[in-house]
Amino acid sequence: MVNILVTGATQGIGKAIANELKDLGTIYATGRNVEHLRIYSNYCVCDLAKDVETLESYVKDKKIDVLINNAGEYIYGAIDKMTDSQIQEIFEVNLLAPVKLIAKASENMKKKKWGRIINIGSISGIMGEANASLYSSTKSGLVGLTRALALELASYNITVNTVNPGWVDTEMGQTSAELSEFFKDEIIETIPQRRFVQPEEIAKLVRYLISDDAKGITGQSINLCAGLSVGI
């Protein structure tokens, strides 16, 4: 049994991942809403944009073996319309927080000579998305981080991978669609499989990636996007 931390576990992809992995070990959940976190036995209330230090201490104290960096924010708008605070917040949540949490979690993983780190990226970090440059750049950053850390941590039997979802049938996915310039039906027409990905699909891929069967998979950026990254 292992200690598993899932950030952003109160809804959507994070909640699906926590539910999928609950039989593999102890789930430690994080999020900003204490009411939503109470479904878990072990949780830490934390706003990654403001007090990530709280979660860093929690990660070290709980000796996390499996770290799922899922929490993320999405901002839609032209780059010249973005404020300094918006820029700061999205980079803190989407990229800097994962870096800091990995730094803390990897200490215990190195000692145990085993660990799994999975970053939830986005197809927008692979393909780019107009009017979502901040989001795209933070998610792209996770891919580079994953590749470098996979090399750095390979000798410790620690794997590091990124999963890049496309349009996902979650509250955040629906909000992203509403913020864009297109209707949901128009978005679906751009997806080869003509559907949104279900959060449970991502959760099952995460489960595989932390299994011993996937010990040879590291440094990879895996697109789970219903064919969106391939083309129309």
The confidence score (pLDDT) of residue 174 equals 66
H or E stretch at 107: helix 97-112
Measure the CA angle with vertex 170, ends 15 and 163; round to 5°. Answer: 70
Instruction: Please answer whether residues 145 and 118 qualify as being in contact, where contact means their C-beta atoms are separated by less than 8 angstroms.
Output: no
Residue ranges per domain, the chain?
2-166+198-224
**Residue pointed to by tokens 């070290």:** 60
**Residue pointed to by tokens 């080869």:** 192
135 is catalytic: yes
Task: Report how far residue 14's alpha carbon sits from residue 27's, in angstroms, rounded to the nearest whole number.
Answer: 11
Structure tokens at 211: 């299994």
Question: Using one digit for the tens of pLDDT, what is the confidence trace for 65-122?
Answer: 999 999 999 999 999 999 999 999 999 999 999 999 999 999 999 999 999 999 999 9
**May I ask the CATH class of domain 2-166+198-224?**
alpha beta
Among 58, 135, 156, 208, the one annotated catalytic: 135
Structure tokens at 206: 């995460």
Is beta strand 25-31 parallel, antiparallel or unpaired with respect to 43-45? parallel
Each residue's pLDDT, cut to its tens digit, for the chain (232 residues) gives: 899 999 999 999 999 999 999 999 999 999 999 999 999 999 999 999 999 999 999 999 999 999 999 999 999 999 999 999 999 999 999 999 999 999 999 999 999 999 999 999 999 999 989 999 999 999 999 999 999 999 999 999 999 999 999 999 987 666 666 666 667 778 888 899 999 999 999 999 999 999 999 999 999 999 999 999 987 6
The confidence score (pLDDT) of residue 131 equals 93
Instruction: Please answer whether residues 17 and 78 qualify as being in contact, where contact means their C-beta atoms are separated by less than 8 angstroms.
Output: no
